[in-house]
Structure 1
Amino acid sequence: MFGFSLGFVKIIRPVTLGIAAVGLLASCSDSRTQIRIVGSSTVFPFTTAVAENFSRNNPEYLAPIVEATGTGGGIKLFCQGVGSRFPDVANASRRMKPSELEDCRKNGATDIVEVKVGIDGVVLVQGKKGVTLQLGLRDVYAALAAEPFGKKQTARTWKDVNPALPDVRIEVVGPPPTSGTRDAFNELYMAAGCDTDPAMKALKKSDEDRHKEVCNKIREDGAFVEAGENDNLIVQKLGANPTAIGVLGFSFLERNLDTIRDVPIDGVTATYETISDFSYPASRPLFIYVKAQHVKAIRGLREFLDEYTSERAWGPGGYLQRRGLVPAPDDVRAENRARAAALTPLTKGDLE
């Protein structure tokens, strides 16, 4: 494997791992001696922090391997099968889709445990030197849709979208389609902004496919720039271009307040309080997915799961909150801790 060390965690670049699989992992548990985790770049820093603490508290186990592959790419790798060639855990900044769970099952990964690890916000941010903006969900959709409300896209500046906004060119830097943050952006900003129009709500009832195309498809003329899976790269781009807006997870805003600020959405600023009570329009839960079939086979995986669901990690004042994660409510944490302890498998009905 090719990589570098960060603290106690070995982080590797997305390269192909040459580890041979010999049947099911349960029958060859010594063929891989490290936990392998893939998925969301948003969840990545939180899982890395858990892995560091797990290694510190359990020196008898090798440090987990953590890869930032994006939610979609990570779940695809995760669902390819059971055995030492396949990841044990997938980080996800949106919920697993029914079709993804079905892919897991087709490939033998029949017992997938879903753990909601906390709350995040999909925030719009800008460099501190930029013109101060306050946007509504409708403004964001109208600026970025390929066919806003089913009409030709003609807006070039924010003022074109809303006369109350400044005459600044529309340029939004965000994640690619493989990112869970992009999926969440489509749902929480694009679809929500689109449905502020009663005609679009009616379209959803009469022609769901057309509604999805009109409401979710983002323009491709340069107003929206894909910056890859690395959210830190978006922060850098905003520093170089004060007129641009970025799409990020709340934790990245928290870690870079010296250079960027949030763009209030419908008058609500992104804070721990507004995200935790979901008054911020773009709040979302974050997840990890674990193969129950790997828990007995991979040394330390049970202990890693216990560490992730401990109050010292994900509870109020825990070390994940200090990294920018917004703790889930007490009852949600209790429910998910119990699910992780019992290795309760996710069902298709849970996702519907």
Structure 2
Amino acid sequence: ITEALIGFDGLSIAISRTNDFAWDLKLSEVYQALAAQVPVDGKWVDNPYTTWDQVNPGLPAVEILAYGPPPTSGTRDAFVELAMHAGCEELGYVKNGGFDGDWVEENCSRMRTDGPFVEAGENDNLIVQRLEADPNAVGIFGYSFLFENLDRLKAVSIEGVEPNSSTIADKSYPVSRPLFFYVKNAHRGVIPNLNEFLEEYMSNDALEQGGYLSERGLVSLADDLLMKLQDAVLNGTNMEPKS
């Protein structure tokens, strides 16, 4: 099997363009708003927060309502790992309590089920409609989907950084992830049109900055890594280095 890094994606929290508040959330605030359990007065309890200003007085006094992916989604898995776990680890209760990664994974992975977090299914377009209907609600998407809907949505900054191709590629945006491409080499020359598919997928027209995949939101690799990717996939070797 050939494994190769094809680019990067970010997980974004987005809101309707009609919302005029300058949203900038810490990962710890994302966790406190959306997690099933949080620390309150030194105890680990069911999440009592119903409005954003209860999480941070500097945030709007509006209801917490977030539409996100279901547990069957890879986007949900990535959001839990990159946003929820990271946010949980920033809490003083966790930092000062000597809790390790296993504790965080066991106790900080569950999203709320009492209303403020709504599993919206796999239909991201439906989430966009809901955000337009309620300008105070937020949605959780892959950056590529936000990129395609910037005429209707805007990104919420995380830790002072807004997701875009530059901040995702240089990893300054904290909720970003690499995207990998896998090919079973035994299928080369056996599966009809596989080689032609690989050649097209690895073409500059598809992958380079300004290519048609970047126009759909893929954050492209730098030129030197792109050449390594193309060489690895077309010649059936693993990409080294992978990032």
Verify same fold: TM over 0.5: yes
Aligned positions of 1:104-253 closer than 5 A: 112-132=1-21, 133-149=23-39, 150-197=44-91, 199-201=93-95, 202-204=98-100, 208=102, 210-253=103-146
Alpha carbons of 1:115 and 1:236: their partners in 2 closer, same or farther (altered >3 Å)? farther
Runs of at least 4 residues off by over 3 Å: none
> Which of 334, 343, 347 matches 2:227?
334
Deviation of 1:291 (Å): 2.3
The SS at the match of 1:203 is: coil
Looking at structure 1, the residues matched to 224 and 235 of structure 2 have their Cα atoms a distance apart, in angstroms, of 17
Aligned position for 1:300: 193
1:173–1:225 Cα contact (<8 Å) kept:
yes
Deviation of 1:198 (Å): 5.2
Task: Give the AA of the match of 2:162.
Answer: T
Show CA shifts across 1:154-209 (max 9, x none).
0000011111111111111011112111111111110111111355253116xx1x
Show CA shifts across 1:222-263 (max 9, x none).
111111122222222211221110001112212112211111
The SS at the match of 2:84 is: helix
Aligned positions of 1:256-295 closer than 5 A: 256-295=149-188
Looking at structure 2, the residues matched to 312 and 190 of structure 1 have their Cα atoms a distance apart, in angstroms, of 36
Deviation of 1:131 (Å): 4.9
1:128–1:261 Cα contact (<8 Å) kept:
yes
1:306–1:341 Cα contact (<8 Å) kept:
yes
CA-atom RMSD in angstroms: 2.0
Looking at structure 1, the residues matched to 179 and 129 of structure 2 have their Cα atoms a distance apart, in angstroms, of 24
2:4–2:238 Cα contact (<8 Å) kept:
no
1:131–1:243 Cα contact (<8 Å) kept:
no
The SS at the match of 1:151 is: strand
Deviation of 1:120 (Å): 1.2
> Which of 200, 203, 212 matches 1:319?
212
Structure with the bigger RCO (C-alpha within 8 Å, sep 6+) is 2
Looking at structure 2, the residues matched to 160 and 180 of structure 1 have their Cα atoms a distance apart, in angstroms, of 30
Deviation of 1:345 (Å): 6.5
TM-score normalised over the length of structure 2: 0.88
Looking at structure 2, the residues matched to 228 and 289 of structure 1 have their Cα atoms a distance apart, in angstroms, of 26
Deviation of 1:330 (Å): 2.8
Q: How many residues align?
A: 233
Structure 2 unaligned spans of 5+? none
Task: Give the AA of the match of 1:256.
Answer: N
The SS at the match of 1:318 is: coil
Percent identity (aligned): 47
Structure 1 unaligned spans of 5+? 1-111
1:115–1:340 Cα contact (<8 Å) kept:
yes
Aligned position for 1:15: none
Looking at structure 1, the residues matched to 184 and 238 of structure 2 have their Cα atoms a distance apart, in angstroms, of 9
The SS at the match of 1:216 is: coil
Aligned position for 1:77: none
Looking at structure 2, the residues matched to 297 and 117 of structure 1 have their Cα atoms a distance apart, in angstroms, of 24
The SS at the match of 2:25 is: coil
1:116–1:336 Cα contact (<8 Å) kept:
yes
Larger Rg: 1
Looking at structure 2, the residues matched to 229 and 308 of structure 1 have their Cα atoms a distance apart, in angstroms, of 25
Task: Give the AA of the match of 2:64.
Answer: I
The SS at the match of 1:261 is: strand
Task: Give the AA of the match of 1:116.
Answer: L
